[in-house]
Each structure stands twice: as C-alpha cells, then as structure tokens.
Amino acid sequence: MIFVRFNVLVIAIAYGAFGGTLAQADPPIAELLKLHTHEAEAYRIFRDRGRTLPLELETKPIFSWTNLVGEHTQYGHLYAWSYAGRPEVIGTMFSTRASSPRQRILIHEFHTLATRQLFPETPENSAFQWTPERGITLAALGDAPSVAESSSQRRQQMRKLARSFAAESRTRDGQTWGLRLLPRPLLEFEPSSEEVLEGALFAMVSSAGTDPEVLLMIEARHPPDGKTWAWHGAALRFSDKELTVKYNDQALWSSRDDDERRARINGDYTLIETGDKTYMCYRARIVDELPDANSPPDSTSK
C-alpha cells in the first residue's frame, strides 16, 4: 500500500483549532473493525464464471495495520478468501477521515492469489468493480532445498526462503524506501489439494507504516512433471509505488522496467490498478464518520 496514497483526499480536521478545544479523535479500533469487516462481507468471489464455486471469507482479519497520511491516520484490516484451505484472494479494507467533517473514506484493495481467473461480485454501492483478468504464476525458486517431510520443517524452510527476498519502493518524487519482511507469516496453510502440499503468505512493509507493500506467496507445489514436490513462489504488488524485488540478491522484477508490473493511477488516486487488474485499489465510497473516541457513550445502549 502507500504512504501518500490519498494525500489529495485527506485534509486535517480539528475541532477548535484555536482556543484549546479538544481535537477530534479517531473512532475506537473496535468500531473500525466492525466497519471494515462489514465491507469485506459484502463481496462474493467465485472460482468459476457460473458462480457455483464460492470462496470462503475468514471474517477474522489476518493482519491489522496503521499508516500516517499527512495529519490523518489510515486504519486497515487484511482479510483472506480461501477455497479448499488455500487462500485465493487477499484484500484490505481500510479507511481514513474525509476532507468534509464527519465523513470517512472507505478504500478497498485486492490482489488475487489464485492461479486461475476469479470472478468477484463487487457490492453495488462501490464506486468501482474489481475484475481480475487472470491468475498469478508461482515460479520454481532456484537454490531452494528439497521439500522437507514434516510440516514443522517445511514451515522453517518457508521462513528462510522468505528471507531470501528483498524489495524497495520508490515514490513518484524519487524517495526510496527499503522494505522489511515481517517476522511472522500472515498465513500458513495446508490445503486439501493434490497440487499444493503446504504454503505461507508473507508481507514486506516500509518504515513509513505497517501496511504491506509486497506480498510473498511460497508454496510446495508439484512441478510440471508432477513427480515430486518443489518450492515455488511469487512476489506480488500491494502498493501504488514503483517496486523493485530481488531474490537471492538477483533482480526478480522491477515495475520501472516492466509496464505490466506498474500501478496505473487514475482520478487523483481514486483508482489504482495493474493492467491485468490482478491488483486493484480504489476509493469505494464515503460514509458518515463513526463516533470518535471523545464521544460520550450512548446512555440508551445496554
């Protein structure tokens, strides 16, 4: 995601900037979680065009993050949609204060994790529709060890493989951020699949915030000959910035050199997407602001 993504949309709001009146406080995290989970639940995502194979949403977020944008903070929750135990979609529902008092901007961000095209049904009240045109490709990881026999050993192997990746992001004004790998995976999974034995999803973040900028998916998969398991992986965009990714100190890909890897920014950051729409981030809608942390409790509530 980004450090300055919607800086044109978020302007400082304070009550009583003069005279020492209490400034508006952000809503409680629990209320933001309810809002973001409701947004995630509004999506239905299918593996087939006929809408007979739905993905399952895990309503408990797999990660929570914050990011300071100007004088406001973005609050986000990361969700996964799975099929047969394998995550097929990763999505963030996040929000920040709007420029108009007592309003909140809701932003939705997705990347497909499926190896086939998916067919999402976006809520009708969203300003944009997510329509990925293909799946992702996981490539064999060179110099990777043989897949271990036990799950505990495989999980150690995946964490070591994730540390073999390095990435940096660059803003449009040339500011560069080195990305760091979060020490624990976002997800570890053993799907009921003949194609995938075990896998994990990792995140890389910048020092500007804790929201993921690059996602690493690592899986023990069957190679084309189908005779043995081998480690495969993919480094996926989750940011509007220019990104460069390395594996074992060798360039893997750079959006500065590959237009298909670049994020296309439209409408003053209201829509960000790759050409194939495997990644998309958009301002979905504006809602009434939630009660802030300074609001007195509702005396009628029980």
Residues 71 and 152: their CA atoms lie apart, in Å, by: 44
Tell me if 17 sits within 8 A of 41, measured CB to CB. no
Residues 2 and 130: their CA atoms lie apart, in Å, by: 19
**Domain boundaries, position 59:** 29-288
* pTM for this entry: 0.87
Residue 21 lies in a domain: no
The pLDDT tens digits of the residues spanning 207-223 come to 777 889 999 999 999 87
Residue 106 lies in a domain: yes
Q: Is the dihedral of CA 294, 300, 301, 302 positive or negative?
A: positive
Residue 22 lies in a domain: no
Residue 19 lies in a domain: no
Nearest to 10 by CA among 121, 88, 104, 82: 104
Residue 128 lies in a domain: yes
Residues in the chain predicted with pLDDT less than 70, given as ranges, are 1-24, 69-71, 224-225, 293-302
Residue 138 lies in a domain: yes
Residue 194 lies in a domain: yes
Number of domains in the chain: 1
The pLDDT tens digits of the residues spanning 100-120 come to 878 999 999 999 999 999 999
Three state DSSP letters for 59-116? EEEEEEEEEEECCEEEEEEEEEEEECCEEEEEEEEEEEECCCCCEEEEEEEEEECCCC
**What is the four-CA torsion angle of 243, 249, 250, 252, rounded to 10 degrees?**
-30
Residue 79 lies in a domain: yes
